[in-house]
């Protein structure tokens, strides 16, 4: 019935494997057998593609497929500090490649910690997204800068994070075509790369979005609070949401980086990474380096 989709490159292979390992732990054996994993990549080697297939099979997923793809023409990357053009591959999923009526797209810098499938029951044929916690509306923060001034009628409209999708696969073609048009017509508003393009498509076309509960795309805040309190301008919740179904490690301080603060959420990701590393060793793979994190971050 459903597939989980990821977009990976060699730089994000370890995080992607950790996401798969964590995802498997949130599903029953029957759910895993009925589910598919679909991966799009720019540059994964065939060796690593085969490794991904082995990890997914070992985790109990019933189907796996990988395809090499290119981002759409006109893909804009004004914010490329820690994000590559691989992010645009999320628009390259097709109904034929997915081979299931529903796709849950999962960013590689996330950690599923509970069942993330319930939002599929709320879609009513629409694309499901979570409102961005730091940029919740057009005209606030860095959500499509300049658009609210040029289109006051769109000011205050919800702005969504693009790291998690719940989508009927029959919509994927329309999303891709709409994003191509949005990039061509509204490139001057693009700041958050593919995420802005996705929101611009929905706003310009008036496409209704199914708003998904925040707990299914919950930012890990502890890393930011280690440095300053700026996130308190947007949220007062605890650094680690105990109701979270999925943790999203947005920003440049990723949990696999040795210099990332060892917050509770980061330690949780690293525990899953160590479990993934043990799986890789059992499969006889030594090609993916797993960082040795200092205990200095423990609390």
Our count of domains for the chain comes to 1
Kindly state whether residue 242 falls inside one of the protein's structural domains. Answer: yes
Note the pLDDT of residue 242: 87
Give tens-digit pLDDT for 260-291. 999 999 999 999 999 999 999 999 999 998 88
Kindly state whether residue 152 falls inside one of the protein's structural domains. Answer: yes
| 164 or 240, higher pLDDT | 164
Structure tokens at 199: 């929101």
Kindly state whether residue 134 falls inside one of the protein's structural domains. Answer: yes
Kindly state whether residue 297 falls inside one of the protein's structural domains. Answer: no
In this model, does residue 298 exceed pLDDT 50? no
Structural element, H or E, at residue 127: strand 127-131
Structure tokens at 177: 């075509």
In this model, does residue 292 exceed pLDDT 90? no
Give Rg (Cα) of the chain: 18
Structural element, H or E, at residue 154: none
Contacts of 76 (CB under 8 A, 6+ apart): 183, 187, 190, 193, 197
Note the pLDDT of residue 299: 37
The CATH number assigned to the domain holding 69 equals 3.90.550.10
Give tens-digit pLDDT for 191-247. 888 999 999 999 999 999 999 999 999 999 999 999 889 889 888 888 888 899 999
pLDDT (average), residues 129-148? 94
Kindly state whether residue 296 falls inside one of the protein's structural domains. Answer: no
Structure tokens at 217: 């795309």
Note the pLDDT of residue 75: 80
Q: How far apart are CA 228 and CA 231, in angstroms?
A: 8
Domain that holds residue 157: 2-289
Kindly state whether residue 223 falls inside one of the protein's structural domains. Answer: yes
Kindly state whether residue 299 falls inside one of the protein's structural domains. Answer: no
pLDDT (average), residues 247-252? 94
Kindly state whether residue 260 falls inside one of the protein's structural domains. Answer: yes
pLDDT (average), residues 152-176? 97
Give tens-digit pLDDT for 107-133. 999 999 999 999 999 999 999 999 999
Give tens-digit pLDDT for 35-74. 999 999 999 999 999 999 999 999 999 999 999 999 888 7
Q: How far apart are CA 115 and CA 27, in angstroms?
A: 6
């Amino acid at each position: 019935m459903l597939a989980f989709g990821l977009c990976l490159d060699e730089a994000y292979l370890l995080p992607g494997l950790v996401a798969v390992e964590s995802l498997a732990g949130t599903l029953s054996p029957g759910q895993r057998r009925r589910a598919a994993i679909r991966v799009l990549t720019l540059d994964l080697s065939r060796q690593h593609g085969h490794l991904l297939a082995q990890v997914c099979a070992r985790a109990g997923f019933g189907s796996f497929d990988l395809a090499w793809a290119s981002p759409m023409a006109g893909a804009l990357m004004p914010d490329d500090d820690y994000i590559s053009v691989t992010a645009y591959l999320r628009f390259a999923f097709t109904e034929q490649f997915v081979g299931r009526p529903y796709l849950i797209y999962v960013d590689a810098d996330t950690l599923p910690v509970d069942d993330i499938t319930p939002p599929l029951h709320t879609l009513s044929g629409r694309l499901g997204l979570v409102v961005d916690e730091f940029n919740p509306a057009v005209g606030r923060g860095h959500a499509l800068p300049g658009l609210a001034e040029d289109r006051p009628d769109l000011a205050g409209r919800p702005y969504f994070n693009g790291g998690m999708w719940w989508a009927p696969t029959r919509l994927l073609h329309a999303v891709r075509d709409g994003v191509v048009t949005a990039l061509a017509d509204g490139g001057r508003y693009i700041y958050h790369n593919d995420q802005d393009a996705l929101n611009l498509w929905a706003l310009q076309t008036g496409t209704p979005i199914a708003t998904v509960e925040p707990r299914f795309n919950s930012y890990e805040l502890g890393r930011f609070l280690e440095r300053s309190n700026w996130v308190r301008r947007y949220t007062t919740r605890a650094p680690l949401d105990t109701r979270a179904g999925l943790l999203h490690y947005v920003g440049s301080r990723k949990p696999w980086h040795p210099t990332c603060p060892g917050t509770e959420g980061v330690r949780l990701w690293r525990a899953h990474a160590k479990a993934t590393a043990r799986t890789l060793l059992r499969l006889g793979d030594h090609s993916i380096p797993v960082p040795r994190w200092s205990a200095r971050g423990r609390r």
